[in-house]
Structure 1
């Protein structure tokens, strides 16, 4: 583990949330999809299962995407704004058989607020560790998904949407075509 467990979870959840908004495909088309996302990423606490909550979460995505493309000064501004707007007050918490970790807003805060703060806290850890190079976009030419490279050797190039497999197949076919002239 390179970072604290909650930092890694926050980074991966933020990337996954950003990647639900891709051109031509809505990854959170309805409340049921948000419910699945909530469960898949281990969110706990308040979850209203409403269209209003879904709209708030969707509205957060462009702001989080900006974290992957901003320079350091803008990145810090975004992080600080997310924390300030949410009235974040970090505290050590233990729940659901998890070890102590940081929560900066109450579990009863709106889901979009908790998502924003978790992402901001995780990004703050990257800034403090001077590890922003771990924030990347997928190398596949037809993909604009974001990713967090948590590998030890910093070698991750593709997102989780199958782009690595597509790139390998394309390279294989090109080698085969070249070999068969």
Structure 2
């Protein structure tokens, strides 16, 4: 394991949240979609299921996306801003049969705040480890999704939206077409 479990979960959840927006698509069109995202990424605690909460989560995405394009100093500035605006106070917490891990805001804090702080705390570990280069943009032409490469050999190039399969199929078809050429 490269990072602590809660760090990996935070990085994966932040990546998925950022990828709910882009290229004219809205992956969180309504409260039901936010409910599904909440469940899929194991969020616990307060969840109001309101339009205001949905709006707050949507507003977080561009702030997080900027981290993928930032150099180290800019990433630190973004992360510190997220932590400062939430008045984060890290504490060890154990709940839901999970071992002790860090929470920096109470479980009853608003969901957008908890998402921002969980992501920021995960990025803190990434920055401290000198591993910001694990944040990447999908290599598939025109995709634009972001990814976190948690592989040991740092070889991940494609996002989770099927781009790796599309690239493999395209390469296969190109090879087949080249074989048929006279």
TM bin (shorter chain): over 0.9
**SS, match of residue 64 in structure 1:** helix
Q: Unaligned regions of 5+ residues in structure 1, if any?
A: none
State the match for 1:10 in structure 2: 10
State the match for 1:139 in structure 2: 139
Deviation at 1:73, TM superposition (A): 0.9
Deviation at 1:36, TM superposition (A): 0.2
Deviation at 1:28, TM superposition (A): 0.2
Distance between the aligned counterparts of 1:164 and 1:21, measured in 2?
A: 20
Distance between the aligned counterparts of 1:138 and 1:98, measured in 2?
A: 32
Deviation at 1:114, TM superposition (A): 0.4
**TM-score in terms of structure 2 length:** 0.99
State the match for 2:161 in structure 1: 161
Distance between the aligned counterparts of 1:162 and 1:22, measured in 2?
A: 16
Distance between the aligned counterparts of 1:107 and 1:126, measured in 2?
A: 23
Distance between the aligned counterparts of 1:52 and 1:115, measured in 2?
A: 15
1:20-74 per-position Cα deviation (integer Å, ceiling 9, x unaligned): 0011210000000000000000000000000000000000000000010011111
| Runs of 4+ with >4 A deviation | none
Distance between the aligned counterparts of 2:115 and 2:67, measured in 1?
A: 14
State the match for 2:99 in structure 1: 99
**TM-score in terms of structure 1 length:** 0.99
Deviation at 1:149, TM superposition (A): 0.2
1:146-179 per-position Cα deviation (integer Å, ceiling 9, x unaligned): 0000001000000000000000000000000000
1:60-106 per-position Cα deviation (integer Å, ceiling 9, x unaligned): 00000001001111110010010011000000000000111000000
> Mapping of 1:104-143 within 5 angstroms?
104-143=104-143
State the match for 1:32 in structure 2: 32
**What root-mean-square deviation, in Å, do the aligned CA atoms of Structure 1 and Structure 2 show?**
0.5
Matched, 1:174 2:174: yes
Matched, 1:84 2:84: yes
